[in-house]
Chains A and B, each alone.
Chain A
């Protein structure tokens, strides 16, 4: 029983992780906490679903197309709603993302209806046996994609000019600007990249949980929890945080109470924040006052 729970917890955690990566990415580059990330992923997934149903293209092609589709959603959102708020107080962008959450959430219900739909999977529905636990191939795919994305982003942030510019912009916007970093482009890149990743995550999640307008709500909450656990500024931290949440949640649901599993996950976050407010994976940054 335990291996089954741990393995399906890891699979669940990596669903959260992909979305958490998008959250951290935008936060790292632009200091915005994007509450609409899950809904943007959901809308992108619905666009892919429509494309799939209308054109009958192979799923692999759709998965590849998800990147530009997500990128476009991110870029348009950034230009239309976030860019004008760039020099406003941070609370403004925060409220704007909550507004975006509602627009995307209800807009999707309005356009695509409220019934869940079945989304085909790239992987075979037959489970694979790992250490006596039966795991859906799709879950393994998600784990694989999560790690791939982390690796690519790591290289991007550490070794490319654009990545370094993003980190600089996040640390001190004005100084970065004075050093010649184009803040607007940084913000645009971050939103495009993050939304592309989250749409890919949507395509991987949908076959497991069915696609509907509500699909990302719980995922977003847990992704936040995982990202906070990891420090909200560390890509690896976010992934590990989400995996921890997934496993704990599963074990708690099976052995203690399924009704309180969400409460328990969040109680852990509060405890961590009290003991280690910077999260498990980020160094505390002391600010001179």
Chain B
């Protein structure tokens, strides 16, 4: 009995030792002599699938262009993307796989709020850096975790900015708000209402929709009753397009200020130039028509690897994560570790990706940009009226 127990114990100890061996032998997870393994989880099969696919293509195009130019300090980037169907349970499973089995070095350009928030504790515990978890939550956009780096503003800050733009630039007195009835839209609505309150303005009308709605005619009629000068749109492309079409049908022409999603080329395709004419768009990513070398470069890279994908919000967003992580990895030198990556990300300071307003990271701030641009739809193209 004693004998056999000792044997079992010895065997167990040997087993544990053997399992630990390869880990000890590796310098850093995901980094080999000629390869850096990065990961991401994206809702490639869900209502957000269109955006997720474009985000993936934007980031992937950039990595491929970097690889073609020789990689990062002699190492080629390999980016493993897993689908999580926008389901946090699935995210937990795929992230565990990416971190423990595939041993990715870092996570880059993920999409989804609840899904990312669900895996933050796990990533923090394993010390895996995550750059550009796109979503709308303060844990993602104003992160306090050492390993999390957000590149998007808070939705409420976008709402605030749109309200200030309506009042200060468009000189609006009567403001109405049309928003998506979930955290994405409600945070924008709350931010706008709070900003208006400091200016002593109360919205004259508010109305909302849910993403499954096929028709927003009642909402448009209700807002029209309030007779606003400006309508603030906290919407996704499809429903923003439906609203613009509905307003056109009613022969109603208020000024409109919309979330960055209203700059998505798909909106133009859906409703046409006439319905969009004059609509202002808040910019937290570049628009493809911007006359900047970085934007032209980004369009060229995307066009080379994904010629069927139009440059816009999601491709730029995905690409921005790639640009940042590549820059920080280059600066970290050939002896790449997670700790070094984090130090270099914090050391980027005021950094221009060109496709996003500049980030401003430091050891104490890992959050998104605090500046916005504005553009206006004119004859089917976006005319940038305020850069960052």
A residues within 8 Å of B by Cβ? 1, 4-5, 8-9, 12, 15, 106, 109-110, 113-118, 127, 134, 136, 205, 208-210, 212, 214-215, 217-219, 249-251, 253-255, 258-259, 261-262
Contacts and interface: CB of A to CB of B under 8 A. Distances in A.
| Interface residue SS majority, chain A | helix
Contacts, number: 92
B49 A12 contact: no
Interface in B239-298: 241-242, 249-251, 266, 269-271
A253 B212 contact: no
Contact of B221 (A4, A15, A219): A4
Contacts of B214: 12, 15, 205, 208-209, 215, 218-219
Contacts of B225: 1, 254
Nearest to B274: A125
18 contacts: A4-B217, A5-B217, A5-B218, A5-B221, A12-B217, A109-B45, A110-B45, A116-B241, A118-B271, A209-B214, A212-B238, A218-B212, A253-B207, A253-B218, A254-B219, A254-B222, A258-B181, A258-B219
Contacts of A214: 47, 212
A134 B252 CA distance: 11
B266 A262 contact: no
Interface string B76-105: 000000000000000000000000000000
A136 B249 contact: yes
A215 B212 CA distance: 8
B212 A8 contact: no
B248 to A, nearest CB: 8
A132 to B, nearest CB: 12
Q: Which 6 A-B pairs have the closest CB atoms?
A: A114-B49, A253-B218, A114-B50, A8-B217, A254-B222, A218-B212
B103 to A, nearest CB: 30
Nearest to A211: B270
Contacts of A136: 249
**Residue from B49, B208, B214, B221 whose CB has the most chain A CB atoms within 10 Å:** B214
Contacts of A210: 238, 241-242, 270
A235 B298 CA distance: 56
Given A210-B270, A254-B222, A116 B212 contact: no
Contact of A115 (B50, B219, B222, B250): B50
A215 B270 CA distance: 14
B8 interface: no
Contact of A12 (B45, B210, B215): B215
A134 B250 CA distance: 6
A20 B225 CA distance: 33
B381 interface: no
Contact of B218 (A114, A205, A249): A249
Interface of B: 45, 47, 49-50, 53, 181, 207-210, 212-215, 217-219, 221-222, 225, 237-238, 241-242, 249-251, 266, 269-271
A79 to B, nearest CB: 28
Contacts of B219: 253-254, 258
A106 B45 contact: yes
Contacts of B266: 115-116
A127 B249 CA distance: 6
B215 A259 contact: no
A219 B215 CA distance: 10
Contacts of A127: 249, 251
B381 to A, nearest CB: 18
Nearest to B54: A115
B186 to A, nearest CB: 10
A272 B89 CA distance: 38
A258 B181 CA distance: 9
Contacts of A209: 214-215, 242
**Residue from B213, B217, B241 whose CB has the most chain A CB atoms within 10 Å:** B217
A220 to B, nearest CB: 10
Contacts of B208: 258-259
B204 to A, nearest CB: 15
B215 A262 contact: no
B221 A254 contact: yes
A217 B218 contact: no
Contacts of B238: 116, 210, 212
B218 A254 contact: yes
A85 to B, nearest CB: 27
Given A5-B218, A109-B49, A127-B249, A217 B212 contact: yes
A235 B316 CA distance: 50
Given A210-B242, A212-B238, A1 B215 contact: no
